[in-house]
Structure 1
Amino acid sequence: MKSKDIAIVGILLAIGAILRYFLAMLHTPLTPNMIIAFYCLAIILIRPKIYEAIGIGFVAGILSMLISGSIFPPANLISEPLGALVCFGIYGLLKNRTKLAPTVTTFLVTLASGFSFAVLALVAVAPKILSKYATLEGFIIIFVPIVVITAIFNAVIVQILYVPSSRVLSRGQE
């Protein structure tokens, strides 16, 4: 990866982390994971190699873990690299097929990351989850809409930012 690409990834991850941190401070029931949106945007814009995409996901996982208010923050170390891998693959398949490739990709990445996080957290801290929710179904009923709403939000944000971001990057290559 070129140093310019590393800088772009760093800036986008920093923006995502700052936004996630400030949104978490609002203590709302739904805190969007802006880190996912911004690492998706980074992968979509710079098109790294597969191992570089996984590395971006790992850095995103570290950031998410450090500023997470979730029940099991270390799950981010697996869910975010998995999300980055999904982003790499899905966008690679869709980029020349539809103008909505960033939207569809980010939506699916957020679902993959969110649901893998939920499974990991459930396995790791099931007694704590089950003490907070009456049943496993209660946890699922609460968690699924949060992940889906976050996926929609992230997809819209990335689609809005994709066009101006790609124009700015293409100017630098002229």
Structure 2
Amino acid sequence: MKSKDIAIVGILLAIGAILRYFLAMLHTPLTPNMIIAFYCLAIILIAPTVFEAVGIGLVAGILSMLISGSIFPPANLISEPLGALVCFALYAVIKNRSKLAPTATTFLVTLVSGFSFAAIALIAVAPTILNKYTTMEGFIIVFVPIVVITAVFNAVIVQILYIPANRVLSRGP
């Protein structure tokens, strides 16, 4: 990866982390994970290798874990690299088929990341979840809409940012 690409990834991950941190400070029931949106944008813009994409996901997972208010923050260390891998593969397949490829990719990546996070959290801290929710189904009923709404939000953000970011990056060396 070129130093320009590393700088782009770093800036986008930093923006995502800052936005996630400030949104988490609002203490709303829905805190979108802007880190997912911005690592998707980074992967879409710079077209890294598969190992570089997983590395971007790992860094995103570390950032997410450090600023997370979730029930099991270490789950981000698996869910974000998995999301980055899906982003890499899916965008490679659909990028020339639709102008909405960034939207579709980010939407699906957010679902993969969110639901894999939930599955890991369910396995790792089931007793804690059952203390907060009456049943596992209660947790799922609450969690699914949050992931889907976040996926829509992330997809829209990436599509809006993709066009100007791509223009800027294609102008110079």
Corresponding residue number in structure 2 for 1:94? 94
Does the alignment pair 1:37 with 2:66? no
Corresponding residue number in structure 1 for 2:17? 17
TM-score (norm 2): 0.99
- Cα deviations by residue, 1:120-153 (Å, 9 ceiling, x for unpaired): 0000000000110001110010000000000000
Cα distance in 2 for residues equivalent to 1:169 and 1:124: 41
- Deviation (angstroms), 1:104: 0.1
Cα distance in 2 for residues equivalent to 1:129 and 1:119: 12
- Deviation (angstroms), 1:57: 0.1
Query: Taking every aligned residue pair, what percent have the same amino acid on both sides?
Result: 84
Corresponding residue number in structure 1 for 2:82? 82
- Deviation (angstroms), 1:89: 0.5
- Cα deviations by residue, 1:8-51 (Å, 9 ceiling, x for unpaired): 00000000000000000000000000000000000000000000
Corresponding residue number in structure 1 for 2:161? 161
- Cα deviations by residue, 1:73-99 (Å, 9 ceiling, x for unpaired): 000000000000000011001100000
AA aligned to 2:44 is: I
Unaligned segments of structure 2, at least 5 residues: none
Cα distance in 1 for residues equivalent to 2:82 and 2:116: 8
- Deviation (angstroms), 1:112: 0.1
Unaligned segments of structure 1, at least 5 residues: none
What SS does the aligned partner of 1:44 have?
Answer: helix
1:122-141 matched pairs, under 5 angstroms: 122-141=122-141
Cα distance in 1 for residues equivalent to 2:2 and 2:105: 24
Corresponding residue number in structure 1 for 2:147? 147
Cα distance in 1 for residues equivalent to 2:74 and 2:141: 23
AA aligned to 1:150 is: T
Runs of 4+, deviation exceeding 6 Å: none
Corresponding residue number in structure 2 for 1:27? 27
**What is the count of residue pairs matched by the alignment?**
173
